[in-house]
Amino acid sequence: MRMPNRTIYLPEDLDQVSRRVGLNLSRLTQQAIREFVAEHHELALEARIDAVSARTRELGFNWPEDYLDDQRSEAGER
């Protein structure tokens, strides 16, 4: 799994506390994001759709606007 490097900014007092108690900020952040996503399904889904759409545009995929209609008619759906 690819693990991009991100910067997290903390106020000095929180940084000192996190260092003193030996917090793994990476693990803590990952868990906080997972919990947020679990509580906000709609936002998470929307963010994923936006990310996929952006990547699709970046790669230059141009789907015809009537692509799904064509596929449905070929499958005999309405």
Summarised one tens digit per residue, pLDDT across range 2-37 is 888 889 899 999 999 999 999 999 999 999 988 988
Specify the pLDDT at position 77. Answer: 60
- In this structure, the answer to whether residues 55 and 76 fall within a common structural domain is yes
The conformation of residue 21, written as its DSSP 8-state character, comes to T
Q: What residues make up the domain containing 20?
A: 10-39
pLDDT class for 72, splitting at 50, 70, 90? confident
Q: What are phi and psi of 18, to 5 degrees?
A: -65, -35
- In this structure, the answer to whether residues 28 and 54 fall within a common structural domain is no
pLDDT in tens, 32-62: 988 988 888 888 788 888 888 888 888 887 7
Q: Which of 41, 62, 44 shows the shortest CA–CA distance to 53?
A: 62
Number of domains in the chain: 2
pTM above 0.85, yes or no: no
Compute the distance between CA of residue 34 and CA of residue 31 in angstroms, rounded to an integer: 5
Specify the pLDDT at position 75. Answer: 79
- In this structure, the answer to whether residues 35 and 56 fall within a common structural domain is no
Does any domain span residue 1? Answer: no
Does any domain span residue 4? Answer: no
